[in-house]
Amino acid sequence: MNRPINKKDAVREKVVNAAALLVLILIGLLALIGPSGLLAWSDQSSQLEAHKERIAELEEERAVLENRVDLLDPDNVDEDLADELVRRDLGVAHPDDLVVELDEEE
């Protein structure tokens, strides 16, 4: 059942094989140098580390803000913080006022 291949079929087969080879080469190049390829991993890993650092900074800032919110709880307001906010926002602090912060020892 081997039929002879005419010239037209041989040319068509070579074109299809060449196109398939080009597609495979393109896929391989994209896997190597594409936006999510092997060469982009180092850039993405450095970006990931930068994002992790930023997340850590934001979590610290969130903890500070949560503490301030807890101190301003309407049922149990911290008197020192309330005094500080009232003086600052209403502009009743004197230029010669001195704020002394005491470290709390646990």
Q: How confident is the model at residue 4 (pLDDT cuts 50, 70, 90)?
A: low
Q: How far apart are CA 43 and CA 16, in angstroms?
A: 37
Tell whether 24 and 62 lie within a shared domain.
no
| Gyration radius (Cα) of the chain, Å | 35
Q: How far apart are CA 86 and CA 80, in angstroms?
A: 10
What predicted TM-score, i.e. pTM, was given to this entire model? 0.51
Region 5-16: mean pLDDT is 88
Is residue 41 in a domain? no
Tell whether 52 and 29 lie within a shared domain.
no
Is residue 69 in a domain? yes
- Tokens at 80, concatenated: 């020192």
Tell whether 63 and 25 lie within a shared domain.
no
Give residue 74's domain range: 46-93
Residue 14 is predicted with a pLDDT of 92
Q: How far apart are CA 8 and CA 84, in angstroms?
A: 91
Is residue 104 in a domain? no
Is residue 81 in a domain? yes
